[in-house]
């Protein structure tokens, strides 16, 4: 059983570029969650999606950040015009029916 | 969500039981206690959850006091690989967004 997969594991971008982070949930899971963890801090919820729908985006910054979970393919977290403050570990989790969440290994974004 | 209070750090000898406490004095009747852990540089890992009865699985045991105002996560035979930050989280039934606080940094030493 493959767990939650995220790629890339490490991503380096220069200020102003775009970052695309991908998350493939566990087989059979239709709920996806994105979290951000800044250095030396706890995880902060960003967005919760089900297939083709955003359920809760209360933790997403209002600008530059967007997320999708299309009918086919992985969930994508997109960050436009990255700034140094976006440097963090981004974790994706999945669940079935909103139960306990299983986390991926994370994508570490570094903005130069 | 009810707030939780955990000690910032603990240590434990390898092979001994690790008992991690959590206070959640404002918990309400429909809120569950969840435990996750995060090993350095990895994604969080679900451990166990419960409502009011004690729970046990292959990873740990969860002891919830009768008044539900506190709980203890027990790792019966800690190993070096159990070194991690442990998060105690309270969630209403049907809720889906755990709020991760500072947690307890557990160090298991030889």
Per-residue model confidence as pLDDT tens digits over B28-71? 888 999 999 999 889 999 999 999 989 999 999 999 999 999 99
Q: Which of A13, A31, A12, A10 is nearest to A92 (CA)?
A: A31
Q: Using the beta-carbon criterion (under 8 Å), do A101 and B100 form an inter-chain contact?
A: no
Contacts of B43 in chain A (CB under 8 A): 4, 91, 93, 103-106
Per-residue model confidence as pLDDT tens digits over B12-25? 999 999 999 999 99
Residues 6 or more apart whose Cβ sits within 8 Å of residue B86: B6, B20, B35, B36, B37, B47, B73, B103, B104, B105, B106
Per-residue model confidence as pLDDT tens digits over A51-94? 889 999 999 999 999 999 998 899 999 999 999 999 999 999 99
Select from B41, B46, B94 the Cβ nearest to the Cβ of A101.
B46
Q: What average pLDDT score do residues A104-108 get?
A: 96
Q: Using the beta-carbon criterion (under 8 Å), do A100 and B45 form an inter-chain contact?
A: no
């Amino acid at each position: 059983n493959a767990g939650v997969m995220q790629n890339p594991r490490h991503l380096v971008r220069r200020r102003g570029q775009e970052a695309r982070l991908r998350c493939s949930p566990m087989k059979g899971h239709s709920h996806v969650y994105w979290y951000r963890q800044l250095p030396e801090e706890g995880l902060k919820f960003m967005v919760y999606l089900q297939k083709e729908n955003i359920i809760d985006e209360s933790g997403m910054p209002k600008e530059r950040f967007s997320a999708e979970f299309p009918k086919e393919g992985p969930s994508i977290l997109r960050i436009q015009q990255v700034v140094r403050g976006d440097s963090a570990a981004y974790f994706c989790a999945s669940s079935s029916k909103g139960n306990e969440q299983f986390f991926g290994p994370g994508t570490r974004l570094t903005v130069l | 969500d009810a707030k939780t209070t955990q000690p910032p750090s603990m240590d434990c000898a390898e092979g001994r039981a690790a008992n991690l406490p959590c206070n959640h004095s404002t918990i309400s009747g429909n809120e569950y206690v969840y435990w996750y852990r995060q090993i350095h540089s990895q994604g969080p890992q679900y451990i166990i959850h419960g409502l009011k009865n004690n729970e046990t699985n292959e990873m740990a045991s969860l002891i919830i006091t009768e008044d539900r105002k506190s709980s203890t996560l027990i790792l019966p035979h800690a190993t070096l690989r159990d070194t991690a930050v442990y998060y105690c989280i309270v969630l209403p039934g049907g809720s889906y967004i755990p709020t991760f606080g500072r947690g307890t940094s557990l160090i298991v030493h030889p």
